[in-house]
Amino acid sequence: MEEYKPNNKGNSDNPAKIPPLGGWGASILNKLFEHQSLTRSEATEVMTNIAAGKYNDAQIAAFISVYIMRSIELDEIIGFRDALLSMAIKADLSEFNPIDIVGTGGDGKNTFNISTCACFTLAGAGYKVAKHGNYGATSVSGASNVLEYFGAKFTTDADILKKSIDQSGFAYLHAPQCNPAMKNVAGVRKNLGVRTFFNVLGPLISPLRPNYQCLGVYDLKMMRLYNYIYQNLGIHYSIIHTLDGYDEISLTDTCKVTNIKGSDQHQRRIYL
């Protein structure tokens, strides 16, 4: 590890130490700092390295911060998704053909867990729901927080998940258990306290890879991005955004909905 010596001679009592990132990692950061985008394969490799613990918290924070200051590109987000799904546990509830209902979070509204409540409402109506969620990173309470509070025991046991969705219509997959690679960014995300591209990734990395998904997003730019992503992935989806910033259907403003089934795409506005 090399020691950094500042030019200011009067401030050299405790010289800062720069942790090594490695040649390839440094070139990726420099590329991003120069406002260039990553290819899908580069995005996959850097996320694999993050998950493997090859970078420290400062380096991960620098990487994440790039995407706070600029929009993420389609190849980048799909490359990150490829990496995380390749390392996720294997789970299969395809016999139930479930839907996942999820919000990106990050809308800054600190609402209660609306998408989680919607899952129970839908399950109560007779549909099969398999939700993939996490603890809150940018809000007071995520889906995992509220379910754990009410006594839910998280598991990746396939038999238990199948029994749960068969008997109650609902199964829950806790992201840190399903995607252990995410543990290396959990502390950085919490300390940053702002929405990051991991909010975008969350709905895309369920190991179940559901064919149906209902997603709430916090702005129209995110709606367009997910529209491109879902078309690329070829699943049935609905994307929801309320125009005053909620990633849910809200009573406070007009709600915009984009959905697709088969090759037919529809857009509509809901006035409440």
Tell which CATH architecture fits domain 94-270: 3-Layer(aba) Sandwich (3.40)
pLDDT tens-digit map of 115-125: 999 999 999 99
Place 165 in a pLDDT band, splitting at 50, 70 and 90. very high
Contact by Cβ (8 Å): 169, 161 = no
Domains 17-87 and 94-270 share a fold: no
DSSP string computed for 87-135 = HSPP---GGG--EEEEE---SS-----HHHHHHHHHHHTT--EEEEE--
What CATH number was assigned to the domain covering residues 17-87? 1.20.970.10
pLDDT tens-digit map of 98-136: 999 998 776 677 778 889 999 999 999 999 999 999 887
Mean local confidence (pLDDT), 81-96: 93
Contact by Cβ (8 Å): 32, 38 = yes
Q: Are strands 255-261 and 264-270 parallel, antiparallel or unpaired?
A: antiparallel
pLDDT over threshold 50, residue 60: yes
pLDDT tens-digit map of 232-267: 888 899 999 999 888 888 888 999 999 886 666 777
Instruction: Map out the domains of the chain as residue ranges.
Output: 17-87, 94-270
pLDDT for the residue numbered 138: 64
